[in-house]
Structure 1
Amino acid sequence: MKIRRPLALASGLALVLALSNAADVAVSNGKFSSNYPAVVCPSTPNGLTSAISLPSSKSQIRSTGTKSLSFIPAQTLRYMQKKAPIILESQGATPVVWQIRKGVWAGSTICSSLQTEQWFVGGAADVTSKGKLILVNSGLSAAIVDIEVWNEIGAQPTKAITIKANSYLEIGVDSLSPGSQSLVIKTITRAGRVTSYMIDERGRGLRALGGDIVNFAPKASKEVFIPAIPHTVRKVGSKSVELPHTLRILAPGEIDARITVSVYSTDGSFIPAGLEGKVIKSGSVATLDLNPNLPASKFGIKISSDEPIVASVFSQTISEGKSDFIWSTAAAELTQSNFSVAGLAPQLIFIGAKVKAELVLLFNNGKRKTVRINGEDIAAVKIPDGVRSISITGAGKGIYGAGLVATKSGYGYFPLTAGSVLTKSSVPMSNIRVLTP
């Protein structure tokens, strides 16, 4: 009996201590700070013009490469960027960038927050290449980035690049794998806060061959959805000629991939001849003809694979009488998100087995309009002039989307993928015990 009492007291004391510790942990970990990381917009190489659509004229921005780290109000909804990249406190909205070489080509992309891994499926490093890989370090310490390159032969040597704090680099694509005709580039941030962008511009002598911004994919996947591919039919005499498309694809692993390509169009969903069960050799970039035999329209594709892949579609286009080319790239599954499109008036294309989505359009005059989208396989909506932002407030499962912009300078494409997502971090809590010995 004498032994049981001390044991009972010890057990009770241990239980009380355990419960108090559990309660302390629960309270300590119970508070979080939620915020949207700032997004980074690409630099403007020589001879180009960039306009960034902002969510508000009060949006806070700062340029990289300057001593001042203070943010200032943009004071406009359409910011005409100079050379250096800008960092933008967009508060969850995704700004869309429109970049052109006037009268020659146009391209579009989204401003994005820090990305650890980015895949660029597009571009060339032959004698026609004038493209750039842009690496932006928005952090306050030096950054290290590995650049991995694949071409039509196989993987090329990895290059390690160091970027000074609060600065950026523009690297000629032709220096990464000289002579290559088909490229896939992967950037991996080893240290620092780096966001990468890629421009594919081509010319032969003094003759311009067009250009575009190649949007990135965040990872290789066994299912790739490319929602918006412009299909142009040109009149040549009495005949109608369809401008060509090519599918660029890489299986970066050690095992060959077997793929099937499904086309989503207003004529229904189908698999083009020769693209069912097609074997893609691992480690080298493959280029496949994609000729869907459709009237002038837009279409999307789904690529199913038994191994992770990355892919994009290269298309010749004509925009308001101007010849150009465009890279349609992979998009993530649609989620609730907001896109700033002031001055662009894009056409949005959605694909999926059953398309269902709801948009809220905010106009420059403050008015709002709700648009409900329904369709089989594919659906499109033209955003009117004067719209400041597009909010995706609802979307069915398995829906993917992208925007197309057509101007006199050329065609542009951007995926409907959020550039910045809400992040949580625990808030340190004061504890009196740290003040007592």
Structure 2
Amino acid sequence: MRKRTGTTIVATSIRAVVGVVIVGALGVGGVAAAQSPWPRLQSVPTPITVESAAADMVVACAGPLVAMGRDAANPTELTVAAQAQMTVGAEGSVDESGLITSAHLADSSWPLYRVDRSDTDAMLGAAQSATISADDLKGFAASACRTPQLESWIVGGATDLGTSDVLMITNPAEVSASVSLSMYGVNGRSTLPRIAVPARTQISVPLAAGVAGESSPVVRITATGAPVQASLQSSLIRTLDPSGIDVQDATGAPRTQQSLLGVRVMSEPIDNAPNVIVRVLVPDREASDGAEETDPAIVEGDVPTVPLTIVVRDAVTNDPVGVALDVAVTPGMPAEIGIPSLGAGYYSIDVSSAQPAVAAVWQATTQARGMDFAWMTAAPVIENPTVVAVPAGPAPQLHIRAATAKETVVTLTPLDGGQPIEATIEGNGSALIPVTDRTSYVLESSEPVMAAVTMSATSALAGWPIWPQQERAEPVRVYS
């Protein structure tokens, strides 16, 4: 500010001197003075590199499993059904002093995990899991704890008969957030009134509050004031028998290319019924503002449609399984595509669309009584070291796929000091790596990769993609 004031004073002083000179010259012999050149002033901006203060890295967990309607006199009341076990790993000191408090669960709170980012090597990852066996809920659920987002999507759940799904929105910030929910169903998009989420608080919204009677809803969550972490608890009852529970985190912005890793098929199909179902939504134009330029929709009759292709791949060889499925979907309306005749094993599913889309895959341990199920969302590309937290649970596997055509060396280093695991993956190849539950690893790779964790047993199934580590803000070059 002092420098800018000095420039102004200098410029004003020069103009005053010039005026005096001209007046004097005109009085003595005007024409020559009038033709004299005026002084030229030029301000040269000085570049300054500003290193912004490193914000803490924060991850928020979904919290306990909840039950709805256990009190017949209050069918919408939520109660804690099972506490979650958290596994946390970090490079740096983890601050667990902050708590998230539920606005709808009595006396319920859980830690908010934070790492100081002033250390350039700081990293943080966390995940949770829970098991329940009750008259209304039964199964295993596990999910990653995520950094909050200003926009996210939930692709999963249902609001038809036998479901009681709950959307959970967590605000880990010190200020309140205002959240908008756009619900997509068979009738297109509807928007709920904005919801206030107080600081350090989780609110719970029954999914049926937005789209009742829907078998394949999709939800877009947008926040202002502060970013939020969104997750969905979904459960199913078939003929009075609880038939699985899942907690899924949100997926990112719509993309034209998505890879769903860690898809687990545990039983052979019955009567050729699909045991894996892909749900996909191409958002309408309003929700797609700012997305990449893509091919226009194809008009069939009076209804525009968007073509997409689904390719199933073996998780170990990355070779295609069966034939590619070509389908057309209507923008703004969720669609479900069953994958027929997949035998027991591990898979990935690639979804390619002419316009940006969001997608997830539903999978189940069996189609018979005693089943559990899980939703898996798209895995983003990871280019830098990232913490992978594996919570308590059965038979965890890390599914890794090379994101380029180059040979990739992958190293998993346990943060507790155990022996590193190393694997070499051929270009565009993939691998399944057994890992240990209740353990956190640093994932490093010589080339970009995608990854997901999957856990499974006879009546237990869960999985989630690995997200890249939150990056520090880059220095900004400004001019004074």
TM-score, normalised to structure 2's length? 0.73
Among 73, 93, 100, the residue aligned to 2:131? 100
The answer for unaligned runs of 5 or more in structure 2 is: 1-31, 67-79, 116-121, 286-296, 298-304
Map of 1:411 onto structure 2: 461
Structure-2 change in CA distance of 1:230 and 1:65 (3 Å): closer
Among 311, 316, 322, the residue aligned to 2:364? 316
Among 195, 199, 208, the residue aligned to 1:174? 208
1:379 equivalenced with 2:413 (yes/no): no
1:209 equivalenced with 2:259 (yes/no): no
CA distance in 2, matches of 1:268, 1:367: 29
1:89 equivalenced with 2:109 (yes/no): no
Map of 1:143 onto structure 2: 177
Identity among equivalent positions (%) equals: 16
Q: What's the C-alpha RMSD, in Å, of the aligned pairs?
A: 3.4
CA distance in 2, matches of 1:88, 1:173: 27
Map of 2:233 onto structure 1: 199
Map of 2:217 onto structure 1: 183
Contact 1:313 1:329 in 2 (8 A): yes
The residue identity in structure 1 corresponding to 2:434 is K
1:304 equivalenced with 2:352 (yes/no): yes
Q: How does 1:9-88 map to 2 (within 5 A)?
A: 10-11=39-40, 14-15=41-42, 18-19=43-44, 22-23=45-46, 26-27=47-48, 29-44=49-64, 45=66, 46-55=80-89, 59-61=94-96, 62-65=98-101, 83-88=108-113
Map of 1:261 onto structure 2: 310
Map of 2:22 onto structure 1: none
The residue identity in structure 2 corresponding to 1:264 is R
Structure showing greater Rg: 2
Map of 1:77 onto structure 2: none
Q: How does 1:354-369 map to 2 (within 5 A)?
A: 354=405, 356-362=408-414, 364=416, 366-369=417-420
Contact 1:262 1:269 in 2 (8 A): no
The answer for unaligned runs of 5 or more in structure 1 is: 67-81, 432-437
Contact 2:313 2:321 in 1 (8 A): no
Contact 2:142 2:391 in 1 (8 A): no
The residue identity in structure 2 corresponding to 1:197 is S
Q: How does 1:281-300 map to 2 (within 5 A)?
A: 281-291=330-340, 293-300=341-348
Q: Which is further off, 262-271 or 208-217?
A: 262-271
Larger strand proportion of the pair: 1
* Structure 1 residue 94: Cα displacement: 1.6
Structure-2 change in CA distance of 1:405 and 1:54 (3 Å): same
Contact 1:222 1:305 in 2 (8 A): yes
Contact 1:65 1:84 in 2 (8 A): yes
CA distance in 1, matches of 2:195, 2:437: 42
Q: Which is further off, 240-249 or 125-134?
A: 240-249
CA distance in 1, matches of 2:310, 2:458: 32
* Structure 1 residue 2: Cα displacement: 7.7
Structure-2 change in CA distance of 1:420 and 1:274 (3 Å): closer
Contact 1:53 1:95 in 2 (8 A): yes
Contact 2:126 2:388 in 1 (8 A): yes
Among 328, 335, 356, the residue aligned to 2:376? 328
* Structure 1 residue 210: Cα displacement: 0.6
* Structure 1 residue 51: Cα displacement: 1.2
- CA distances 1:279-304 after superposition (whole Å, capped 9, x unpaired): 1111111111112x454210101111
- SS of 2:147's partner is coil
- SS of 1:128's partner is coil
Map of 1:119 onto structure 2: 153
Structure-2 change in CA distance of 1:380 and 1:185 (3 Å): same
Map of 2:445 onto structure 1: 394
Among 390, 402, 419, the residue aligned to 1:341? 390
The residue identity in structure 2 corresponding to 1:252 is P
CA distance in 1, matches of 2:254, 2:153: 8
- CA distances 1:305-359 after superposition (whole Å, capped 9, x unpaired): 111111111111159x962111111111122211233645620112356572412
CA distance in 2, matches of 1:134, 1:368: 37
CA distance in 1, matches of 2:345, 2:461: 14
- SS of 1:174's partner is helix
- Tell me how many residue pairs correspond in the alignment: 395
Structure-2 change in CA distance of 1:229 and 1:135 (3 Å): same
Map of 1:251 onto structure 2: 282
Map of 1:70 onto structure 2: none
Structure-2 change in CA distance of 1:272 and 1:143 (3 Å): same
Map of 1:153 onto structure 2: 187
Contact 1:261 1:272 in 2 (8 A): no
The residue identity in structure 1 corresponding to 2:178 is I
